[in-house]
Amino acid sequence: MALKTRFTELVGVEHPIVQGGMQWVGRAELVAAVANAGGLGFITALTQPTPDDLRREIDRCRKLTDKPFGVNLTILPAITPPPYAEYRQAIIDSGVTVVETAGYKPQEHVDHFKAHGIKVIHKCTAVRHALSAERMGVDAISIDGFECAGHPGEDDIPGLILIPAAADKVKIPMIASGGFGDARGLVAALALGADGVNMGTRFMCTKESPIHQKVKEQIVANDERATNLIFRTMHNTARVAKNAVSDEVVAIERRGGATFEDVKDLVAGSRGKVVYEAGDPEHGIWSAGMVQGLIHDIPSCEELISRIVREAEDIIHGRLARFAPERRSVRA
């Protein structure tokens, strides 16, 4: 079965299931496995140290799949920002057809990608941001509910409200993000008005995910309560896995008056990278969503996507069909 939606038609994939950009995780082996299974995967541009490294990673992915895949480019304000324009050019030069943008004022990047015929999906955490991105000219929206890993915004609106609220106003295709990991979530997202789902934490916990096995096992062991919200007092909320380090950050913020300098060493990205590489879930901050409570195994991407699509069909034509009134022909 293939669930055809506006999104699958837009990007040319078989199933409305997306593996979005994830720092240190969105590498060629995972992206290609998602693509080969009929979904859409995204290489994370800034995981690569330089634009040339990104070019090589895109080439590596092409050797592993002949299916469509994309690149995520997240734009964040920084004292010394990465060379975004050079990363953008590397994406264009490599012939990538789909880009996921996220973050701060992407207009320049959207315009340049669109000028080269690249489809742009922009990740948002609020309806107003989605409408702004639509006016900007993006081709699709990825709307992130409060349940998501990473940055859920500051409005704290869960997907059950955010997705239909966005669907009521956004005219372009939209995928739902935050809290999705199985067929029930996919069917629910479609019912709420989305054209597919984006999964991050669920794809972290697959055989092809390039993170340590012990971290995958920790995700399976965790339940839906095993996250912390950090940077709340700094108005840059991030949902991360609950561990001793994130507990300490939360405690520092609760004391009041905390600045980034007070937690800088605890939240260093280099420590999070070690978590994934060495398999020590307590070493630093790492992203994980509430959907951990729905993750009970470590399948291949093919097994995961096939299962979701098969079970979605069973839900749609089985359980939900039982609630539909029997249709009767009416004679004039």
What CATH number is associated with residue 165?
Answer: 3.20.20.70
- pLDDT of 77: 77
Q: Does the residue 226 lie in any domain?
A: no
pLDDT at 308: 98
**pLDDT recorded at residue 302:** 98
**Residue 224 maps to a domain:** no
Residue count of the chain? 332
Q: Which two tokens stand for residue 1?
A: 């079965």
In a domain, 266, yes or no: no
**Residue 247 falls inside a structural domain:** no
**Total of domains in the chain:** 1
**Quick one: pLDDT at residue 79?**
77
Residue 133 maps to a domain: yes
With respect to residue 188, please indicate whether it lies within any of the assigned structural domains: yes
pLDDT at 48: 98
pLDDT at 154: 96
Q: Has residue 33 been placed in a domain?
A: yes
| Residue 47: domain span | 6-209+310-323
Residue at 139 is within a domain: yes
pLDDT tens string, the chain, 332 residues long: the values are 678 999 999 999 999 999 999 999 999 999 999 999 999 999 999 999 999 999 999 999 999 999 999 999 999 877 789 999 999 999 999 999 999 999 988 999 999 999 999 999 999 999 999 999 999 999 999 999 999 999 999 999 999 999 999 999 999 999 999 999 999 999 999 999 999 999 999 999 999 999 999 999 999 999 999 999 999 999 999 999 999 999 999 999 999 999 999 999 999 999 999 999 999 999 999 999 999 999 999 999 999 999 999 999 999 999 999 888 765 544 44
